[in-house]
Structure 1
Amino acid sequence: MSAEVKKEIELEIAHVLFLDIVGYSKLSVNEQHARVDELNGIVRLSEQFQKAEAANRILKIPTGDGMALVFYRSPEEPAQCAFEISRALKNNQRLQVRMGIHSGPVSGVVDVNERTNVAGAGINLAQRVMDCGDAGHILLSKHVAEDLEEYEQWRPLLHDLGTFEVKHGVRVSVTNLYSDEVGNPRLPKKLEAVKKHHAHVRWAAVAIGLLLLGAVVAAFMIVSRRPTTSLTAIPEKSIAVLPFVDMSAGKDQEYFSDGISEELLNLLAKIPQLQVTARTSSFAFKGKEVAIPEIARTLHVAHVLEGSVRKAGNSVRITAQLIRTGTDTHLWSQTYDRKLDDIFAIQDEIAADVVKQLKVTLLGAAPKARTTDPEAYALYLQAVQLGRPFTAEAFKQSDALYRKVLAIDPRYAPAWYGLARNFGNETGQGLLPGKEGFAQAREAAVKALAIDPDYAPAHAQLGWIEMYGDNDLAGAALHLERALALDPADLSVLTTSATLLQSLGRLDEALALEDAAVRRDPVNVTALFNLGYHQRMAGRLDAAIASFRTVLSLSPSNG
């Protein structure tokens, strides 16, 4: 991906102001556009917004019916901005807006068209807090309220509403920010409507899912804590699959060589006795002149699988070699000259040879590559790679290729999952309206599971949709419990499950999953930062310091 296509936003603790227009869905399309334009104009007239924009320390993310403003200096910034917006809207009966503020970690990307997207606890909780309010309310999370209490001028304006059980028993501490002239002093209707018997019903539903999820997590924690000979010992049965080199004549098959590498990685990761480094970390050294032993030390693996791919028409040559990193010696190498029709058999053979060379004793049948039409498979690999830049154009091209795959093989579950993942990401970026995007993502994920009920990534995607699209934490827990049982090594399964557990205050279990994700993906800065942040929240300060130091060693700009 070229530098101009993608610019990283540093992982930081940000101060998020989330706004939406009350009654937006009841307006006509023309009225919706007019209200959003009017709100944009009012926000841009805010003195606090202008100061942050002039300093280039603000992100403005459209959400369809409103926006999120991400500040980076102080929790006073979103509070002051909210006050200025509220004052400007005081006598505007046409434009009714509610606001929520929270401070927490965010990360994301900005593309060449200046479309921005951020994710993390800062965004999620700011929206949840805002959702508690009615028109005119400026609601704060407990964390922000405690920060503002340190400033004398804010103290008289903070009105604690207590801790409430909102949707599905989730407990949220809310503070109402208002003065005689700004804000809404009334108790939000949603908080008035929280009844004890409703809360009991919701907690019962969540408990069902959590009992199942908790059982799987507990089992995972037991397995992950098996004693080793040394805390720093590199497991003998561990491997990283480095990106295979594109040796095609036109050097135009990188999507295929990268895709084959990732498919092999995922295939080997299905073997429980084998520790396999995840894609982000394995691909971190792509195009860099780093010696194999150094890569292995960084990734904490005893073996590396590398190779090359040459594709021409319907013919493919794949060369693979397995290296023992401790001695930098080749254990095994093989070249496969085949037709594209045999691509799945090649993957199975490579995986089988790796298992044999590493003397792994399989407890069940060897995992097999999922087959489809060879043409559809090549399109699928290209669709996966095209979706990675997270831009509108990238998603458009990726979606089109997934549909081509499904036109050839409508029962290829990974393609349906790919569409579901794209729709979810497009929704998160504001490229699709929330209701429409979540509906399309759900439809595609359900189709994937109709084909293969045991496809873990689709269960994880539905869990994510239930959590963010429906705020149905009980439904999310049921899907994620199933995903964890099916594939406890899948990173999307681990991280989405950890997010759910964090939302419910089950930090020990969430940290166990985040720690497992980092073991699989040791140079993933986002995963390490999130682990450190939640270790700090749990009071594990020494562990948090160690995690943050690793982040800084990998990415000094995050200081």
Structure 2
Amino acid sequence: MSSPNASVSLPLQNETGICPKCGSASRVGRSLCLNCLLSAGIDTNGDGTQAEETLDDLLGKIDGPDTDWHLGNYQILEEIGRGGMGVIYRARQRHSRRVVALKRILSCHADSQETLMRFRREAQAAANLDHPNVLPIYEVSESEGLPFFSMKFAGGGSLLEAAPMLRREPRRAVALMAKVARAVQYAHVQGILHRDLKPGNILLDGGGEPLVSDFGLAKWLQPNSDLTRTPSIFGTPGYIAPEQVNGSNGNLTPAADVYGLGAVLFHLLTGRPPFTGEHALKVIQQASEKPAPKLRSVAPALDRDLETICAKCLEHEPQARYRSAGDLAEDLERWLHGHSIVARPVSLPVRLWRWSRRNPIVAGMAALLLALATVVGVMTWKAETAARPPRSGIAILPFESLSPEKENAFFADGVYDGVLTKLAKVANLKVISHNSVAKYRGVGDIKEIGRALNVTYVLKGSVRREAGRIHLNAQLFDTRTNARVWAEDYDRNVGDVFTLQSEIAQKIARKLGAGVSSAEKNAIQEPPTTDLIAYDAYLRAKDLINDISFSTRLREDLFEAVRLLDQAVARDPSFFDAYCQLAGAHDRIYFGGSDHTETRLKLSEAVIHSIRRLRPESGETHLAVAQHYYWAYADYDRAKQELVLARQTLPNESRIPLLTAYIDRRQGRWEKSLEEMKHALELNPRDFSILQQIALTYEALHRYKDMAATLDRVLTMAPKDIPSRVRRALVDLEERADPTLFHSTVDAILKEDANASLCFVNPWLFLVLRARDPTAVHRALSNMAG
């Protein structure tokens, strides 16, 4: 296609990429090389006379045809970005009509082998990565002598553009960076370092998902790759690790990208990179010589754990940072879920030692003072450690009822339940779930309980109720020594039972050195109700619900629990805990199919409305709503959001990590699901149903040895549990196609219970049908019919 009225008879559209006048690579637009263009536009008509058109006229005509410009199989729509190496266009693929981003090397770099190598490095590195948070490459090609590649069009801009908004939403910033860190970890596993992580290189798609892009400085970890050669451009000041600045690119490790991730996180949380200056050399000098500033020195309102995470990433020495981008991602996710992070602030002696390395002359002059400060620091650290015990675990055993009337057993259980529930609100104390401690009612071996539940302390109690009075004895034992470390007797009016529960819970927390926040103290002191009859109905219903599992629950028990809870809230319409149990019961009935009707769903919705009205910000409210979204609507994303909020005030509630694990598993996050299940197991270590779920997850991952070991643990707790025995027998079948153990297990179970085949009829029939064994098929069908 030629430009009209051109005074130079040379084509402006050149499909070969070769200058039509001198034969060199075309470097300006798609026409003449730079030398021939200057000659044509400034000086001559070929005979030394002045050309009629100026250089501006000629350049304008070169730009003219761009309204219908194609590169290879793509129609160029508009330019959307330009850097030192390439230009990026929004383009449309001809046949699929897909809109893409297309990056082409700048024509002025066509003769630079180093730049061409870097450009191809970017395409090669990104094309080797297949991860949901890495910008995908669609095609690598060449047009007019210049290489280009097409990639996903990210319509949400970059983190650099989103930074002002994300600074106001630190949780979202952390969530995005956790995904980015996972993507970088994936690249590292594939053997690729990025080396230029910065907000502008992390794009956002239309749904707000982050996409790591621009692998122009990527380096293969394997030494024999073409990407090992180091370009002269080493990254972006302000975001690159000190070892990159110091010229050790050839020996870089994944720790360099961990530093970059920390710098990007710092920027998103504060609005600026860790180091700033009037020019690049100043920034580079600061990064080389100074420790990174503390996050909260720039943004004091941010959480201290985020400061610790950033500091860990931005350590000057690579070995002091997170071991991998994956470890960083895990700590960010722990923070999001309200868990304790792994990173810890650098101690005073280490900070002093690092300062002395940076300032050797001053350090030498002040050696005596430094030694003294170190001693004082160590003494202070020891004193603080002695004054603040580590986070302890406690198991509260069901209180013994000493009243002759059997009805008062529920009252004793109620006192116990109240103490356990209130202590579980203390974040600095690990409190074992009711389901795990219920098995130890009346058991006297304190050391054995400590080993089985992995706790340091056990609280035992006895309750006697008579003539309107309550007599209670509470004793706290150290499971390591079997010694009683605290005991107290109480004699109160029955009407003061809720005050008594709060008093015991606060005394135990103080005895164990667990700091109780003002919010936790208020939650502990708040009575569940003032109506003892309503409380009795609530306790009876809760006892029924606790004895129900998804595999064995009885329809009658759930409906009886609903009836009792309806009585409780009718007597006390502000009985919040009863509403929470009632919502869960309705949702289980609906989810389990006992009454999967619109009427049942509306009943659950009405209860959820009451819960939100009474305590809209309570952790129990968020948990009840999360369960409702999960069981009633299968709305996993909204359920997950509620669980994140619930975890902040219910640190010892095992249902939160367990439901989170179910959601992660349903959404394909298998390893994250396992992590959450294991956390639930820490809080509820004797609930073998959690171990069963862990085994099922291992099965889906084909980790058969882990599956077998987990089921062996189940069978030590419940040796007669038929589903677990069958599942354990199936491991050999799935892993090695060996049915021997399965057949022997089936024979043993049927000898114990001839009607048990319904628990395993599906795998049994499948196996005997595949084996074409008519006798075995007949036996299986006969047992099923029986």
Shorter chain as denominator, the TM-score bin is 0.5 to 0.7
Measure the CA separation in 1 of the matches of 2:390 and 2:333: 24
Instruction: Quickly say closer, same or farther: Cα 1:214–1:508, change in 2 above 3 A.
Output: farther
1:518 to 681, 702, 706: 681
State the Cα distance separating 1:244 from its structure 2 match: 0.4
Deviations 1:28-80 (A, max 9, x none): xxxxxxxxxxxxxxxxxxxxxxxxxxxxxxxxxxxxxxxxxxxxxxxxxxxxx
Instruction: Quickly say closer, same or farther: Cα 1:325–1:245, change in 2 above 3 A.
Output: same
State the Cα distance separating 1:552 from its structure 2 match: 2.0
Structure 2: any 5+ residue segments left out of the alignment?
A: 1-204, 210-329, 345-388, 726-786
Instruction: Quickly say closer, same or farther: Cα 1:462–1:393, change in 2 above 3 A.
Output: same
Deviations 1:469-504 (A, max 9, x none): 223233223322222233243122221121111111
- Are 1:500 and 2:654 counterparts? no
Measure the CA separation in 1 of the matches of 2:651 and 2:578: 21
Task: Please tell me the residue identity of whatever aligns with 2:535.
Answer: Y
Task: Please tell me the residue identity of whatever aligns with 1:348.
Answer: S
1:319 to 468, 473, 494: 473
State the Cα distance separating 1:540 from its structure 2 match: 5.5
Instruction: Quickly say closer, same or farther: Cα 1:236–1:541, change in 2 above 3 A.
Output: farther
State the Cα distance separating 1:435 from its structure 2 match: 2.8
What corresponds to 1:359 in structure 2? 513
Measure the CA separation in 1 of the matches of 2:581 and 2:417: 14
1:471 to 634, 648, 652: 634
Instruction: Quickly say closer, same or farther: Cα 1:471–1:359, change in 2 above 3 A.
Output: closer
What TM-score comes out, normalization by structure 1 length?
Answer: 0.56
CA contact (8 A) 1:248 1:312 kept: yes
2:399 to 198, 221, 244: 244
Instruction: Quickly say closer, same or farther: Cα 1:548–1:377, change in 2 above 3 A.
Output: same
Measure the CA separation in 2 of the matches of 1:315 and 1:235: 38
Task: Please tell me the residue identity of whatever aligns with 1:250.
Answer: E
What TM-score comes out, normalization by structure 2 length?
Answer: 0.41
State the Cα distance separating 1:452 from its structure 2 match: 0.6
Instruction: Quickly say closer, same or farther: Cα 1:556–1:542, change in 2 above 3 A.
Output: same
What corresponds to 1:373 in structure 2? 530
Instruction: Quickly say closer, same or farther: Cα 1:215–1:407, change in 2 above 3 A.
Output: farther
* Root mean square deviation of aligned Cα: 3.0
Task: Please tell me the residue identity of whatever aligns with 1:223.
Answer: S
Measure the CA separation in 1 of the matches of 2:403 and 2:719: 36
2:463 to 305, 309, 319: 309
Task: Please tell me the residue identity of whatever aligns with 1:257.
Answer: A
Instruction: Quickly say closer, same or farther: Cα 1:281–1:273, change in 2 above 3 A.
Output: same
State the Cα distance separating 1:340 from its structure 2 match: 2.1
CA contact (8 A) 1:442 1:462 kept: no
Measure the CA separation in 1 of the matches of 2:480 and 2:603: 48
- Are 1:445 and 2:608 counterparts? yes
Larger Rg over CA atoms:
2
State the Cα distance separating 1:328 from its structure 2 match: 1.1
What corresponds to 1:340 in structure 2? 494
Instruction: Quickly say closer, same or farther: Cα 1:451–1:221, change in 2 above 3 A.
Output: closer
Measure the CA separation in 2 of the matches of 1:263 and 1:253: 15
Instruction: Quickly say closer, same or farther: Cα 1:339–1:463, change in 2 above 3 A.
Output: same
Measure the CA separation in 2 of the matches of 1:217 and 1:409: 38
Deviations 1:291-347 (A, max 9, x none): 121111111111100111122363222211111111111111112111122112111
State the Cα distance separating 1:541 from its structure 2 match: 5.5
Structure showing greater relative contact order (alpha-carbon pairs closer than 8 Å, 6 or more residues apart):
1
Identity, % of aligned positions:
24
What corresponds to 1:297 in structure 2? 451
CA contact (8 A) 1:321 1:330 kept: yes
Measure the CA separation in 1 of the matches of 2:450 and 2:390: 11
Measure the CA separation in 1 of the matches of 2:579 and 2:592: 20
CA contact (8 A) 1:278 1:520 kept: yes
Instruction: Quickly say closer, same or farther: Cα 1:446–1:511, change in 2 above 3 A.
Output: farther
State the Cα distance separating 1:520 from its structure 2 match: 0.8
Measure the CA separation in 2 of the matches of 1:266 and 1:542: 37
What corresponds to 1:329 in structure 2? 483
Instruction: Quickly say closer, same or farther: Cα 1:311–1:425, change in 2 above 3 A.
Output: farther
CA contact (8 A) 2:425 2:651 kept: no
Instruction: Quickly say closer, same or farther: Cα 1:450–1:333, change in 2 above 3 A.
Output: same
Deviations 1:260-314 (A, max 9, x none): 2222122111111111111111111225x45121111111111100111122363
State the Cα distance separating 1:236 from its structure 2 match: 6.5
Give the 3-state SS of the residue equivalent to 1:301 in structure 2.
Answer: coil
Aligned residues: 346
State the Cα distance separating 1:361 from its structure 2 match: 2.9
CA contact (8 A) 1:523 1:554 kept: yes
2:575 to 391, 394, 412: 412
2:409 to 234, 254, 262: 254
State the Cα distance separating 1:398 from its structure 2 match: 2.5
What corresponds to 1:537 in structure 2? 700
Task: Please tell me the residue identity of whatever aligns with 2:439.
Answer: A
Give the 3-state SS of the residue equivalent to 1:352 in structure 2.
Answer: helix
CA contact (8 A) 2:393 2:457 kept: yes
What corresponds to 1:4 in structure 2? none
CA contact (8 A) 1:383 1:397 kept: yes
State the Cα distance separating 1:408 from its structure 2 match: 2.6
Instruction: Quickly say closer, same or farther: Cα 1:286–1:225, change in 2 above 3 A.
Output: farther
